[in-house]
Chain A
């Protein structure tokens, strides 16, 4: 009995510690939510630097065409998350952006966003084939310049956002208790209409589907990879549907996580937008990001 008193906390510690490497969510591996809290975490920060280059537009016919905007886009993302319980947490994200083209650069704060997740089904080491199931909601406030109100359209260096606030709802399913990882997430994204130059624009309802797979090499090393499929409906201008304005973007990512201490990790991600399939009215780009995460 006395021995169990000593061993039980140790086993509990191992379980909680290993959950940092095993439990996860599909989107935290390369989708749009950079920060995911594990059940045992109360506070967590994310500091990430990302660079996107090699921009090439994909036109309405799915053909590559010239992109005249910045040649590089850098993003410094700061995110903070707070867990209210092992099932529920919220995150706030604020990006700082820099657009570059030859020698010229412009910087700006990006659009801040809030997100909340609630685990309907918790993952358990005892039943590893039962996935974690989370529902999520989020909101992104459009604050920065978009192509619709740019004052430097020739270089587009002052274009940092889409120009539309967005609300989203989704579900995320994650098998994270075995060495092999797998997950899928589905988001519905509703952009809010906004008027520019007297015209009321309303981008179409969008869906983002994410599929992720991965492997845990050790409690300190995890590799995940996957694909995002973004589909957006037609743009409306003054309630008139703009012909051929639907968007499609099929992107891929690979992410490497290193746990450097029980509460700290580094994450390196590579991604390509418009990487495969039939893309439309979007842009091809290659991205690399490095992030530091710490929890309390």
Chain B
């Protein structure tokens, strides 16, 4: 068994940023394990621009953003293994991996950083009635086919779900000569970023039908048509609203699920809401020395936030192996998300271990206009920030200050909620 100070599972944006920050913090032996044939993760197929405005103050495409970090990993001579699948992580941080070149092997890690990212929700998880012909793809699969492999999945397209990847692919397929007939969204609001609705649908006059879903799929060998219908407020199709669209391609952009099989097997405690690990202020899971960041922790809409979060995970993993991540004295403060706020990351804070400033990220459960993000320390309201608009597709944040928390030694819980006034 070989030994490494830090093993990072996943070489996408989270894994790369975590590796770079751990090296900057002085950690020598770092290993990134990546299952694809190259570093960069999903960014390599996200060829559209709009990445990096927060991190680099310029608008980059996905591959360019990824390369900024890949370059730093190469310059720092951080070790990485490609085409390598991690099979298991044990509670005492033994990582079992395999690849064609090296076979099966084990590594003892001083700390492990989980950075496996997420996966698209497949058709099988959506309960769409009808036949199961060829021509139905997750939006990300179509994105990989078009942008990496150079193949067009089809010519006449219907898209179910208005997540960002679906919106981006509506534009991409249109530019490559396909006809995108409609985007149907089950919810009464889009799960995608505003800018993508403007730039990917409105620019090309592609209709977005909110509160609609696919109720039939036709075609035995290959897809020939889909039928969509309006749904009521319980998500049930309304008879008489059916519209049939002939098409050869159906793209599904119906949500992303953190990929946590490894975490679960390791005994990491999971959140039912994010499907990601429950972490403390140091982005550490319930297993000491196992950290999580990026989309495996909770699905982000901005890679800049992934990089920032992963940088913190890398720094904290470095502190852990150097024995600087203090044993928590005293109680953890619980952060409770309620009344409009669905979850927070992190979900507990130990004041002794927190930095001077802590960014707490969360998502809202519905669209809120002219509402307030409120933070309560026990029963006392300490923050009350007005927001013009909040939507489930766009992550929100509040910043907590260490000195404010330290001034309240008896504080038991922090509550984040959305208030009308």
Do A and B share a complex? no
Interface residues of A (CB under 8 A from B): none
